[in-house]
Structure 1
């Protein structure tokens, strides 16, 4: 009986939270739509122009007036829980919450009256009545909003006395990433709103009311979302903190370096916090055009992989063992092979973590040796067709990440944005919630945190879009801003050219909608950080099948190529591996040259939308490891064909000669000749054979283990064991239910 009652209460609480979230969303939408004109309001008797319909707290911020808050957040629906943002409004008998009051013409607000000060002091007194006094051991110490605001707005003593003691709440197990100390929680519900609105994880919610209110999952389970770490940043107290970072450092001990993430193709802006030679944590950095202020869990928590399985000294294979060597010995061993190998038998393979500087240096080195045999790693990457790289619009996300939120219909082909780029998935979810986005998927069925029309999991499924009677075909025809997103794994499929051809036919069928003056709806979504730069530079297969050339390849240079197929490496080839981790590629090497990871070098990466960004060195490379382009430059000098650049500015001048977009930082260059690019794509794939019932496999089978850094991370290994297994079990259960149905 008690169990049934508890389940009933949980269901009621779930329904209530969903209803509240929907009403908050509707209110947010109506408020957003109402922002059409500027009106005059008065704040502290000073006239201020503000947008009609926006919250008073936003108008105060624009006027340079700081309003304290705990529950309010610009990117989340209004909750009005904490009451810390109270202000005095004319003709109102009591203070009002500035986050919940919309701006109207002639509104008169006061933020510094004795009534406001007394109200805020009273709210702070209520919040601290049950808050534990454990600031010395709290990981939020030094970054805690409650600490800061209690110092500014709180009183010097408390009047509450509870004989039974302060309220205590049992901690929740949200997984291996988020640590909970729920006794500290002030019920601002930021984490609940983020999980429901942004991350698409409705399992996080509230139960109980008043003093009995608790935040957690209704049924005990982990928080299975790729964006869970953001609730740590959102929490204004120490209730939610980083479990891997627990008790390791204080914020004032850390050196802060602004950089770029390379765990996927998004290029999220991050801040690397380091102490000495060790990266201690990674936090998001605001960039409205890329990741706003969120980052994925892989970006945030994979940093411990930077100090494990690292290559710290040059190694030369002797028999079945690797023997440490000096840089001179290693470079001479490689240079001797370079000088004695036929250029036609040389091959350079670049991986997904290779930066633009090293790609340019390696390409120039091979070109000076007389070799054009360049390729990329990955499943069938050495045989994958190169389709239209002469026109940039054919291989980037033309709509841009921010532009995705303005689409009203999207077709996903062979991609899982939730696992290949979680930030893009949050953008799609935002468009689904607030713009009525219609989504269709060609590929294996998956949970994308929003509803979609599943057209099928084989290549012939895309043909349904050309049937005018199909529901999604009708929605696509009626769309004002349609999109199609091709996954980077499509080119790696045996019959991937067919999907390219059908997508080109679809775009041409609706070209007046796909190509508009301010809109390009054709997109290719890359899942690795180094692919777009490689295509800009021309570091791509030369049109010949590398697999057919492999038996004659006598020299292979693997630049961070850890996803290379073993069958593409001839047994008698001399293999050089250059990278920062002893991962897959290093196992086949004869000489290993240690490189620097992305937190240890100032280098250039181009994200999937074609935006050029720069990482910055937060720590030094370990021991004898060096920046990749410097290793290649030193090798060219030992080989007797020195490259014409000795410093980074000169190298970037060479990059500008190859493609000016590589040196226009923090800008997503618009791509021209989009229609010509589609015509070229259609011409190149005109002879593609029909894909038929060929299945489209999952490109990313384990979100947490996708590159050498994550595979070396113990944190990511724990996540893989907890989350991936849970998803596999859930999918198996769903398939079983569908089979019985």
Structure 2
């Protein structure tokens, strides 16, 4: 540690820290535009000037390293005059269009001009103008406002891994551009809006819709993937207007995927806001009482082994627990959360978790991907992999992949093969990457659903587990065998036991006529044409997706923004979302619908409040006992090593990605016009890459 005096206050900071970081450690506010904690230092805005005793002139604190005994002055008269001069230069060409700027109210330039500027401009000449750039359907540009801080350039190059932005020309003629005009191709492009300190980059889908001070802000969890990104839902009245990320270094740092940010308009389209009952082949609106009574009559005389339930990918644990308890009360063990037919090792919790934790990526020094495309399955997690790749360098963080790789992952990957037979070569040592894993101190394997949804998924997993023990991926103090889920509800459903019981049917058997009554809880992502024509289908969900059209009874539920719910991410971390708005029309929270039906059906569930239901969840699985707004970490456990050591029976087919279109993966994103436009714009690019 290095001792530094900041305005007379002693502070200890790590060696190599900058003067700006030392000032912040001392509680001093230093204005800045180009500096960002998660980007490289550019030092080109000069707003962070401070005075260092015995230095010949003021220094830019963001790029000035501290030294033992250094004395820093942050608020002298010369510093104040220098900052006013810098602000005056920044505003020379900046348009004074704050009243019509979408960034108004949350603009760094606006705030710092008020706090550190002079309030008077001496510039009399005409301001310059810059042509706006077309960056695609998500990011709106007004490049005349740009102050060339280069944050967007560094983010796209360093974090997103798509170096499509840059600065051309010099001096007054400098401008940020895409060189060749085309849409940004990153799944993280919305973060450019957050890091832009002025109104040059704003959200195109929500342009001129509302002002920042009009929003009611609510903490929640993103359900567009299984990372569990911490988000803030911003609503005005009964409408969710936008979604932005919250900082959580353990999960998402401060990034959010484009689908999680911009699919917000899908929350207003195709909504189910009234119960429906099919009579003589046609759906008719009905009251809640008539609908529940009609359902109860349909259940009369049906034995429990002829009733089944399938849970979708966006469900909260509360509704899963309630439906599981209802099925048990009805005598059914036919429950399944695996719409995609995935296979998991259920012997212990570590058999289906991202065991190293998301922050474990920061410790890894070798990575093997098996049937996983992290860029589409978990863009925020993929950015962390890229960060580690850049930090270690290719030689320090080699990455290899098994399976089809139709997209650039934003870091160099050695494709070992497209089929599971590569695992055999890794096990017998004939594949060179096996030695790479053995020599690494913290090797990691990410097993994706491209492998776990195959007919030979169990054989692939057992071979992977054997490889993990053989190469040191699993040791007493490190478990680097990670399952990367794609569904926000999957781990929570597995934790609560929403899987077939003894002699219970999985999804495939339920669809083939194994049950007479099939309850779909937000389940939309499986082949609906495989449901037997004689099966009576109850659909409970929030969007009129394909499954609702097949249903005989429709129960309108609440979307994730409209209820307080518990979600468990791919690493097994339990998090809780809060309700931002109320459900539309007569829609209700899912667990309340299930509880109300249980009463009508004569099997009342033993809880009447969400607190009692969460107590029941904790009783089923202690992992839910400490759930709250803070993360409950997954326990560090090592998977049992007693696996088959024989020759695995692999399917010869290549391992394919599970996501065909990143922007159209669930009922909310399919209802979003913004996501439909992204699919139209980016779809051809993806098709070319796949070829």
Higher alpha-carbon deviation: 487-496 or 274-283: 487-496
Of 414, 423, 427, which residue of structure 1 is paired with 2:384?
Answer: 427
Q: How far, CA to CA, are the matches of 1:144 and 1:669 in structure 2?
A: 35
Matches within 5 A, 1:539-618: 539-542=498-501, 544=505, 546-548=507-509, 550-618=512-580
Q: Is 1:704 aligned to 2:663, yes or no?
A: yes
CA positional deviation for 1:262: 0.5
8 Å contact kept, 1:267–1:607: yes
Q: Which residue of 2 aligns with 1:398?
A: 355
Q: Which residue of 2 aligns with 1:507?
A: 468
8 Å contact kept, 1:185–1:239: yes
Higher alpha-carbon deviation: 590-599 or 489-498: 489-498
Q: How far, CA to CA, are the matches of 1:467 and 1:132 in structure 2?
A: 66
Q: Is 1:108 aligned to 2:71, yes or no?
A: yes
Deviations 1:273-297 (A, max 9, x none): 0001100000110111010110000
Of 97, 100, 113, which residue of structure 2 is paired with 1:150?
Answer: 113
Q: Which residue of 2 aligns with 1:473?
A: 434
CA positional deviation for 1:156: 2.4
CA 1:731 to 1:373, structure 2 compared with 1: closer, same or farther past 3 Å? Answer: closer
What CA RMSD, in Å, does the superposition of the two structures yield over aligned residues?
Answer: 1.5
For residue 129 of structure 1, give the secondary structure of its aligned residue in structure 2: coil
8 Å contact kept, 2:34–2:150: yes
CA positional deviation for 1:688: 5.2
CA positional deviation for 1:469: 4.7
8 Å contact kept, 2:539–2:555: yes
Q: Which residue of 2 aligns with 1:4?
A: none
Higher alpha-carbon deviation: 591-600 or 437-446: 437-446
CA positional deviation for 1:731: 4.2
Deviations 1:255-308 (A, max 9, x none): 111111111001100000000110000011011101011000001100000000
Higher alpha-carbon deviation: 457-466 or 396-405: 457-466
Of 427, 436, 439, which residue of structure 1 is paired with 2:399?
Answer: 439
Q: Is 1:249 aligned to 2:210, yes or no?
A: yes
Matches within 5 A, 1:589-668: 589-665=551-627, 666-668=630-632
TM-score (norm 2): 0.96
8 Å contact kept, 1:312–1:624: yes
Deviations 1:492-550 (A, max 9, x none): 21222221121011012124x52232x21111111010000111011013465553453
Q: Which residue of 2 aligns with 1:669?
A: 633
Q: How far, CA to CA, are the matches of 2:254 and 2:380 in structure 1?
A: 10
Of 647, 650, 654, which residue of structure 2 is paired with 1:690?
Answer: 650
Of 120, 145, 162, which residue of structure 1 is paired with 2:83?
Answer: 120
CA 1:389 to 1:596, structure 2 compared with 1: closer, same or farther past 3 Å? Answer: same
8 Å contact kept, 2:450–2:656: no
CA positional deviation for 1:375: 1.3
CA positional deviation for 1:377: 4.4
Q: How far, CA to CA, are the matches of 1:700 and 1:564 in structure 2?
A: 13
Q: How far, CA to CA, are the matches of 2:428 and 2:413 in structure 1?
A: 18
8 Å contact kept, 1:412–1:440: yes
CA 1:338 to 1:491, structure 2 compared with 1: closer, same or farther past 3 Å? Answer: farther
Deviations 1:683-704 (A, max 9, x none): 5x9685222x312122000000
> Unaligned 5+ residue runs, structure 1?
1-37, 733-741
Deviations 1:564-609 (A, max 9, x none): 2225421111110000001122122100000000000001110100
Q: Which residue of 2 aligns with 1:191?
A: 152
> Unaligned 5+ residue runs, structure 2?
none
8 Å contact kept, 1:554–1:572: yes
CA positional deviation for 1:664: 2.2
Q: How far, CA to CA, are the matches of 1:672 and 1:120 in structure 2?
A: 50
Q: How far, CA to CA, are the matches of 1:663 and 1:272 in structure 2?
A: 25
Of 186, 198, 201, which residue of structure 2 is paired with 1:237?
Answer: 198
CA 1:730 to 1:388, structure 2 compared with 1: closer, same or farther past 3 Å? Answer: closer
CA 1:548 to 1:616, structure 2 compared with 1: closer, same or farther past 3 Å? Answer: closer
CA 1:710 to 1:696, structure 2 compared with 1: closer, same or farther past 3 Å? Answer: same
Q: How far, CA to CA, are the matches of 1:88 and 1:295 in structure 2?
A: 37
Matches within 5 A, 1:4-153: 38-153=1-116
Q: Which residue of 1 aligns with 2:136?
A: 175
Q: How far, CA to CA, are the matches of 1:72 and 1:86 in structure 2?
A: 12
Q: How far, CA to CA, are the matches of 1:546 and 1:159 in structure 2?
A: 72
Deviations 1:358-395 (A, max 9, x none): 1111111111111101112433x2xx44x332300000
Deviations 1:409-460 (A, max 9, x none): 1111111111011111001101111023211111112310000110111222
CA 1:546 to 1:67, structure 2 compared with 1: closer, same or farther past 3 Å? Answer: closer
Deviations 1:629-651 (A, max 9, x none): 00000000000110000001110
Q: Which residue of 2 aligns with 1:35?
A: none
Deviations 1:393-417 (A, max 9, x none): 0001011111112101111111111
